[in-house]
Structure 1
Amino acid sequence: MTWSVPSARAVDLRVEPVDDVLDRVERSLQLRVDRSTVIRKRRSVGGCTDRNTWVRVERRSLRRIAAQGSNGPEAAAALRNVAMPRWCAGLTWRDEREPVMWRADETEFVTGAPVGQAALVVEDPRLADSWWAELNLSLDALTAQTTPRIATPDTESITQELVETTIRPTFREVPNLLVDEWTSAHGDLTWANVMGPEFCIIDWEDWGTAPRGLDAATLWGNALAVPTLADRVWAERRPDLESRSGRLMALFVCAKIVGPYAHEADPRLKPAREKATRLVGELQSS
């Protein structure tokens, strides 16, 4: 017998009422969320607590849970030598009205701020050499560890099929899109998920196994509006990005920028087109 998982309606937590959700988290975890600090995103809300910790609450469909689970931040707590907030406690419950589950994670409160207020950056954040050193230490440590989880960039499980269906419509001239190396990855390493001035990686709900170079390519692609920053990412993560898998991941990210849903106002668009031309040539000759 084949079991089907019902679809959940699309919800944007930036506009959806969430007071009842936060009330439940406060009662269950026995804390108070400072409502003046709450940050609302499309899939999650978070805020400071009276324990000087941070609580992040995510709404996740049962379909996504069936594919990956819902305990990304808790599972990430077992990773070694990766700069991230210390995980404290978690809470999960099923929505009574919809095929979704809610997940709340209480973690260490991290000082500083995300390097980017959105996924990309449009001005050079002038990061210190020590920040880059910590980035390299953390990503090297992460890729050296294994997990049965599958990374879900943009909420989709990253598989060989996803790589091909993302790249092929835009770059048909690349003859071979087979990924030859898979490692552990954060899965959503945008500039909104790395902190500064002290380096730290936040939001671990999407982490898992992915093609080598996904994290570096994601950070690089979201820096393309600032050429010097993109060049620095490439130089720091050269072993990953200049592997065959890494070049595929760079093209995977470019395909999302320049493909069918390209936006002419996107400051990454022109440089992504230029970089993609180079990557296609390199992959054709490899």
Structure 2
Amino acid sequence: MTLPVTRAVDLRRESLDGVLDRVERSLQVRLDRETVVCKRRTVGARTDRDSWVRVERRGFDRIGAQGWNGPESAAVLSGVVMPSWYAGFSWREPGEPVMWRADEMELVNAAPVGQAAPVIEDPRLPDAWWSALNASLDALATQSAPRVATPDTETITQELVTRTLGEVFPEVTDTMVEEWRPAHADLTWANVTGPEFCMIDWEDWGMAPRGLDAATLWGCSLALPALAERVWSERRPDLESRSGLLMALFFCAKVAGPHAHPEDPRLEPARKEAARLIAELGEVGQRPHGSRPH
């Protein structure tokens, strides 16, 4: 069945008073309108009970059979530094193939490390931050996920990985992902806080190729070689697994692919790293599947 096309909407350019009023009535909170943060498809605000409410608009074509209750389902995870989830609800936009979802969660006072996904200035994070990142990602990887990750709101599948890599790097002929593990699936610098570490925005989490989170944070650091190197060093076991190398190349394909922006400071580093990754995948390909480089 073909899903109806969703009308493109940028919430930064829309009147959201009605949406916020509905959220207040349903969650029985008062939103502090002075703290409202609007993004393209989400809006968030502080409440009168010192919690945070995040609201997202998503089209039917971006909601699979598993639904999109990521923050709610992530509440059962243990050993991961993340905001506690309190309540949530969803509703359909009248006359549109669109759903809205609101989640109330613990207020995180630390600010995101970056205002956007990539960073162009060194955040100078303390060693304790990196230790907390490693502990959370290691804990996440040991748990079960009842859902498949949806990075960029698109369900990640073997077919998606193969198609994305094939369009940009056709010389990579073996794109089979060997290891799948639970992942945050949107681990950008805008979704981690600092200097106190916390992982926020769990709407897209689920099973994903091993190394997806590490590759995403690494890729968002490419404009700062020292920072990218630090991410790679901290998450080396993931990133130097065969699946991790594929995920790093998967990220490079998004930056350097058909929709590459010539002014993206990650563009040239991504092209350079892609050449290295392709060479390393070739070396790994000489070993039996499942073996790991030293």
| Shorter-chain TM-score tier | over 0.9
2:147 equivalent in structure 1: 149
The residue correspondences of 1:60-209 to structure 2 (distance < 5 A) are 60-209=58-207
Provide TM-score, normalisation by structure 1. Answer: 0.97
Residue 185 of structure 1 deviates from its aligned partner by 0.4
1:181 counterpart letter in structure 2: E
Report if the CA contact (8 A) 1:60-1:70 is conserved.
no
Indicate the SS of the match to 1:169.
helix
Indicate the SS of the match to 1:162.
helix
Residue 18 of structure 1 deviates from its aligned partner by 1.0
Indicate the SS of the match to 1:66.
coil
2:265 equivalent in structure 1: 267
1:35 equivalent in structure 2: 33
Range with bigger deviation, 165-174 or 251-260: 165-174
> Does structure 1 residue 253 correspond to structure 2 residue 251?
yes
2:77 counterpart letter in structure 1: L
Indicate the SS of the match to 1:54.
strand
1:244 equivalent in structure 2: 242
Provide TM-score, normalisation by structure 2. Answer: 0.94
2-structure distance, mates of 1:17, 1:267: 33
1-structure distance, mates of 2:143, 2:197: 20
Deviations 1:138-174 (A, max 9, x none): 0011111111211111111000111011111211111
Gaps of 5+ in 2: 285-294
Runs (4 or more) in structure 1 with deviation over 3 Å come to none
Residue 5 of structure 1 deviates from its aligned partner by 3.1
2-structure distance, mates of 1:271, 1:4: 39
Residue 93 of structure 1 deviates from its aligned partner by 1.2
Deviations 1:228-259 (A, max 9, x none): 11000000000000000000000000011111
1:223 equivalent in structure 2: 221
Indicate the SS of the match to 2:227.
helix
1-structure distance, mates of 2:167, 2:69: 33
Deviations 1:28-87 (A, max 9, x none): 111111111111111110010111100000112223223431211000001111110011
Indicate the SS of the match to 2:25.
helix
Indicate the SS of the match to 1:184.
strand
Deviations 1:180-200 (A, max 9, x none): 000000111100000011100
CA RMSD of aligned residues (A): 1.0
Residue 4 of structure 1 deviates from its aligned partner by 4.1
Give the number of equivalent residue pairs: 284
1-structure distance, mates of 2:203, 2:66: 10
Indicate the SS of the match to 1:139.
helix
